Structures are given as structure tokens and as C-alpha cells.
Structure 1
């Protein structure tokens, strides 16, 4: 048996940090969306679980056994082992939920081949706050630490999106630590396009304080014909939404010419 899955890149169209909880985590309200591109996982049955990592960012995964793919395999009972090759094209520590997306793809592989246990959501949440959303990879509101999910019909499906990262890894912990603690209010209510337009990312300012290159990326994207420009998650990846694929491609070419060292990915919202 051979299986193939795309680990769809996650973006936060809006991310509101409400408060710090007693357990040390932060109370969040976010609008998750997913791009129709990302890492690729291919698997075949084997006597034991195995993981091989290839691709542009393979070397940034120092410990394959600590990788979320390996941890996801360990969470899911099944009769066979799976030998997985992960093609890592999403940058690491980039606000795209790359590891969570990889884990979500493993859950979908196991679901399609063997079925998932009834408590799969709890098993996914134990791997990370973004993992449950990444299993389904559909537009949804996330609350709590991001694990309380409310799927939404998206009026943004098919929207061209450009992801840009200055090739600076930015771990989540320091960004949350740099947040000023001010509750700036809840997510707007309405359609995904309205929430995205009227929402914000409360981690943008603290992320820029740690990684000034994010401000350069945002400024460059705002000089294109983008309808919306924002940082995703805790950074450092930023995204821009466009009305047409041609406008998105023109922006990608402009940025590639002016900043050939920046990573970028073109796609559409799912």
C-alpha cells in the first residue's frame, strides 16, 4: 500500500491574543485558513515505522525522531508500520504550522488506510495546539489555545495567496513572551473575508521587535496589488491575498527580483 498526502500550509488570517491563562498558555481567537500547497508525505507499509526527510529544509530538522511526523505515528494504533518520506518545502519555525501540518497529514493517511480512534482530536491536541486544525485543513475559527474549532464555509476559497519568509527562523515562545499583554478585543463576527479584513495579528508587533526583517517583507508586499497583507501566526512568514492569479504571479516576480534571498510559495486558499 502506498499513500501520498500534502501537508497544507496553515495561515492565520487573523490572530487575537486575549489573555494569558493560569496554565501559562495564552487564550486565543484565530481564523485558520489553509493553502493548497505545502510539504509532501509519501508512505508505504513496512515492518516498523520509519521516517526519511528530504527537500530544501530537511537539514533544519535536526532530530527526525523528535519530528511531529514520528510523534504522530506514535499516537496512532494500526496493524502495520509506515515508512514515510517527508519532502520538507515549508520553512521551519515560520508561522505556517509546518510540523503541525505534517502531523495532520499523517492523521489523514492513517484515517484513509485504517481509520482513526474516537479520541483522535485529543491525541492530535497532545502534539500541539495547531495539529487538530491541520488534520481537517479547512477554514475554521480556533479558540482556547487554538484547539476549540468551529469550521466555517469560506468565501475566500480559491483566493490566490503568496507566502513570503525572510529565511529567519522565529520560535513561537519568545514572540508570545514579547507580547505586551493588552487585550485589544475579540475577533469580528461575520464571513471569513470580513474577519480577515477587520481582524489583526496581535503577534505582529512583538515578532517585528525580534525580527525586523518581517517589517521589510510586509512593506514589500504592500507595494504590490494585494487586497490584504499580514503576518501569519507568530511569524516570520507573511502572506498577501490577491484578486487574480496574474496579480499574485506579478507580485511574486517583483519580490523575487528585489529580494532573491527571500523564500516564497504561491498557491490558493482551500
Structure 2
């Protein structure tokens, strides 16, 4: 049996630049990954199958057309794989959940086959802009639409992180349409810590205009005194970074006590 975690993706910084000729926006983002997320298992089978379970399984409208099934179809592998996806991450949440699931499938097939095809990054990019970064699930810089990856010194590995989502899905498309179109400049240079602390998320205001409770989540996180609190991706999930497990646990308990309906996940940056 093969097992993988689809590590939750967060954008420690997300700078939206000029619009490209293809209609997409040029992006500069700092990807980071939490050491928890969806869980996938796979067994040998006569053909590829997918079963989705877990708290957020109902958020996947078409399990046979979802990105996990597409990932199975895009990579050569001997025989079939019966995959079970335990959907623990909320859908349309800024955590790259589907992309993380696809990345986990790539790693499972790598386990089974011994290696990935030489063109795995191109195959991953065809599934979604976040998928190439999610295959390795290590901190990196993403440019272009997010598929052009660059390594970065990760001096935040092991940092405690708390994820909070108000349980309101926020599709990416409307957030980009609500963005004010102002190019506020390039992402700063430096290590992961430097980019995170000196960067920004240009989609925060646009996402809050669509889902105002995001502002409440950020306020709640900042009240717990993390050294950084920010929205991830296009929302609605926000994160806080803490210097100790005790501080993070206190923050999680305080937010849960005041907002018991909100979803939380805690862990460490990989």
C-alpha cells in the first residue's frame, strides 16, 4: 500500500504583477508547505479508481473528473491504482488542496515506479499552476503563473503555523476580477523569512470584498501576536506563524473558544 500526505500549500507572499497576453496575470509568489493536509492511500488494482472520504469530500462535485483522477491519467504507471482520498482540507480555500492532492499522486507513482518521467513538471503544469510546486512540497519561489520555480533558502523550516478558515469557499476567479489592477512592485529578495516579512498578498483586499469574514479571521489571528499573519492565496484561509509550539497552541485555543465554527489545522512548515 502506498501512502502520502497532500501537504497544505500556503503563499507566504503573493505579488500580482501585469496582465499577460494570454489573459493571466504575472505572479511572484513564495510557496511554503505545512506538514499536514489531505491523506491519500493507494493499492494495486486492475484499473485506476478513486474514492473520496472525509470532512470535505462533499465539496468535490465530480470525483471522477477531479484533479486526482486527472493526475492518475497524466502519468504512465503499470497496472491500476485504487486511491482513497481523505479530504481534510477545505475546498476553494487558498490551500492548493486539489493541487496538493495531485502532487501526492505524483509522489505515489514515483514510489511505485522508482522515478517520474523527465517531463513531469510540464505534465504537472497542465493540471494546474500550483501543481509543480506541490509535487515536491518544499518552499520555493513561483513566477509566471506560478509554474516557473526557483529554489530559496528556507530559514523558516520547522516554524509553527496555524491555519484558520471561516468555512466559506472563495473561488479564485472572482477574486482576481475584484483585484484593483495596481502593480505594487516586485517581491523582495532574500531568504524565506525575509520575503515573508517584507512581502504581501495583493489579493487580500479583493478577497475581503467578496468574503468579508476574512478580515475577522485576520483580526483574530493578529490578536494572538504571531510574528506574521496573512491570507493564503485567494482566500479564505489565513495563517499565523509562531516562534513556539506553546504560543501556537494558546492561539489555537483562544480562536477556537471565540469562533468554534471556524476550521483549524496546525503544524510546522516543511
**TM > 0.5:** yes
Measure how far apart 1:152 and its partner are: 1.7
Q: Are 1:82 and 2:81 counterparts?
A: yes
Measure how far apart 1:153 and its partner are: 2.6
The 5 A counterparts of 1:38-53 are 38-53=37-52
**2:258 corresponding residue in structure 1:** 258
Measure how far apart 1:232 and its partner are: 0.1
**1:127 corresponding residue in structure 2:** 127
Measure how far apart 1:62 and its partner are: 1.3
Once residues 66 and 248 of structure 1 are traced to their aligned partners in structure 2, the CA distance between those partners, rounded to angstroms, is 37
Q: Which moved more, 1:229-238 or 1:147-156?
A: 147-156
Measure how far apart 1:225 and its partner are: 2.4
Deviations 1:183-235 (A, max 9, x none): 00000001110100000000000000000000000000010021100000000
TM-score by length of 1: 0.99
Aligned-pair RMSD on alpha carbons? 0.6
TM-score by length of 2: 0.99
**2:162 corresponding residue in structure 1:** 162
Deviations 1:28-63 (A, max 9, x none): 000000000000000001000000001000111111
Measure how far apart 1:20 and its partner are: 1.1
**2:188 corresponding residue in structure 1:** 188
**1:230 corresponding residue in structure 2:** 230
Measure how far apart 1:67 and its partner are: 1.1
Structure 2: runs of 5+ lacking an equivalent: none
Measure how far apart 1:252 and its partner are: 0.3
Structure 1: runs of 5+ lacking an equivalent: none
Once residues 81 and 64 of structure 2 are traced to their aligned partners in structure 1, the CA distance between those partners, rounded to angstroms, is 14
Once residues 42 and 98 of structure 2 are traced to their aligned partners in structure 1, the CA distance between those partners, rounded to angstroms, is 17
Runs of 4+ aligned residues of structure 1 deviating over 3 Å after TM superposition are none
Q: Which moved more, 1:144-153 or 1:230-239?
A: 144-153
Once residues 69 and 155 of structure 1 are traced to their aligned partners in structure 2, the CA distance between those partners, rounded to angstroms, is 31
**2:14 corresponding residue in structure 1:** 15
Partner of 2:70: helix, strand, or coil? helix
**1:62 corresponding residue in structure 2:** 61
Q: Are 1:200 and 2:183 counterparts?
A: no
Once residues 47 and 116 of structure 1 are traced to their aligned partners in structure 2, the CA distance between those partners, rounded to angstroms, is 21
Partner of 2:127: helix, strand, or coil? coil
